[in-house]
Amino acid sequence: NAGVTQTPKFQVLKTGQSMTLQCAQDMNHNSMYWYRQDPGMGLRLIYYSASEGTTDKGEVPNGYNVSRLNKREFSLRLESAAPSQTSVYFCASSSSFFTDTQYFGPGTRLTVL
């Protein structure tokens, strides 16, 4: 039981490049989330998926898109990376939509030059 896994762990992009961050969970959770963490800012919600087949914007969605591929997988795409998107990205999942403890993945450290 791996919990929540994320790939890659580290990534360096140039401004304007695109990439997809992958997230998978093996806990049969219904809900999945993407957060970004910046120094001194806590965690901010980018997008979430309350259940398979649904996605919604969080607090800071601009510049990102998501896909809930199936119940296990939730990907985050940066279409045209900007330096302001340099951050640590965490994926999380929970059994019920926000009414249960969220379990976090190990994070992806992204640098945009």
Partner 1 sequence: ELKVEQNPLFLSMQEGKNYTIYCNYSTTSDRLYWYRQDPGKSLESLFVLLSNGAVKQEGRLMASLDTKARLSTLHITAAVHDLSATYFCAVEFRSGYALNFGKGTSLLVTP
Q: Which residues would be at the binding site for partner 1 (CB under 8 A)?
A: 40-45, 48, 50, 58-59, 90, 92, 97-99, 101-107
Q: Name the minimum Å distance from CB 98 to partner 1.
A: 6
Between residues 17 and 88, which has the closer beta carbon with respect to partner 1? 88
64: its two tokens: 């990102």
Per DSSP (E only), the strands in 26-83 are 31-37, 43-49, 56-57, 64-68, 74-78
Among the listed residues 6, 8, 2, 1, the one whose alpha carbon sits nearest the alpha carbon of residue 92: 6
CB of 42 to partner 1, least distance (A): 4
CB of 78 to partner 1, least distance (A): 20
CB closer to partner 1 out of 14 and 42: 42
* Rounded least distance, CB 37 to partner 1, Å: 9
If the CB atoms of residues 5 and 17 are measured against partner 1, the closer one turns out to be: 5
Half-sphere exposure of 66 (CA within 13 A, CB side): 26
Which residue, among 41, 26, 32, has the nearest Cα to 87 in the 3D structure? 41
Indicate the residue among 16 and 106 with the shorter CB distance to partner 1: 106
Closest CA to 73 of 6, 2, 11, 1: 6
